Amino acid sequence: MSLYVVDASVAAKWLFPEEHSIAAERLLDPSHTLCAPALLPLEMDNLILKRLRRGMIRPAEATQIRSVLEEHTIHLVPLESLRDGAYRIAARSGASLYDFLYLTLAVLMDARMVTADSRFMRAIAPGRFARHVLWVEDIP
């Protein structure tokens, strides 16, 4: 069994067909255990709202899409346990605190964070946390 931390860029691929969606769906194999900071459902709601406001989806579709995420078993970890570590790492990197909540969880669980965020991946790749990050297309 493999343990992965799923970030919002990957979870979005389950909700909307786009580049890397097929690769992201490999995470849904029952042999994988998925977890994420408790922030994930809010990030997904924000993404759905953006698409709704831009007229890309209708209200009924938005409601249906929200329920899709709930069908997947993702263990949500309270933010309080990740906040300080994420802040320390983000303060040194200049990247988003939200991204580092996912990375901090991966480090604490000795797991790998799966991302489809190429900018974040490039920023982390040369550093000491690289072993905790996995590009979405590299999911076994």
Cα radius of gyration rounded to whole Å, the chain: 15
Model confidence at 9, pLDDT cuts 50, 70, 90, reads: very high
- Give 101-133 pLDDT, tens digit per residue: 999 999 999 999 999 999 888 888 778 888 999
Q: Are 54 and 89 in contact (CB under 8 A)?
A: no
Q: Across all residues in the chain, what is the average pLDDT?
A: 91
Set out the domains of the chain in order of their start, with CATH numbers.
2-138 (3.40.50.1010)
Q: What pTM, to 2 d.p., does this model score?
A: 0.89
d(CA 85, CA 67) in angstroms, rounded, equals: 31
| Stretch among 22-36, 58-72, 90-104, 124-138 having the lowest mean pLDDT | 90-104
